[in-house]
Structure 1
């Protein structure tokens, strides 16, 4: 995954969280889902390219760290 592909996915997930005010949750989930692909990427630059505040780089890292301990599941409708 390139940084531009990651930025596109991060932006999509961030904006998906806006209606329920779950942007941080969505950024954590992005970090969990793509932890291995994001490893080694400059996270501040990733946030900038995604068009979200640069301080979300910390939230991406939190998700990446959580990836070792959690599994994602489908949201119930």
Structure 2
């Protein structure tokens, strides 16, 4: 997956999240796409997605969780 595709996935997950679940969707993005994200700059993915740069920390948290959990969706 390209950096652009990852940023589009992140934007879709965040901006289409149910009320109150947007940050959880950022964590889920990090969990689901951890291996792909490692090939790129989290900062660039966040910037391209249109999210606040501070959400890079939340993506990193999801990536760390990826080795412990498997998403159901």
TM above 0.5, one fold?
yes
> After superposition, what is the alpha-carbon deviation per residue over 1:14-73, rounded to whole angstroms, capped at 9, x for unaligned?
0122x4121110000000000100013111111110001011111001001100000111
Contact 1:44–1:55, Cα closer than 8 Å, also in 2: no
State the distance in 2 between where 1:2 and 1:69 align: 25
Structure (1 or 2) with the larger CA radius of gyration: 1
> What stretches of structure 2 of length at least 5 have no aligned partner?
none
Tell me whether 1:60 sits opposite 2:59 in the alignment: yes
Summarize the alignment of residues 21-40 of structure 1 with structure 2, pairs less than 5 Å apart.
21-40=20-39
RMSD of equivalent CA atoms: 1.0
Deviation beyond 4 Å, 4+ runs, structure 1: none
Count matched residues.
Answer: 73
Task: Give the TM-score, by structure 1 length.
Answer: 0.88
Partner residue in 2 for 1:2: 2
> What stretches of structure 1 of length at least 5 have no aligned partner?
none
State the distance in 2 between where 1:27 and 1:6 align: 12
Contact 1:16–1:26, Cα closer than 8 Å, also in 2: no
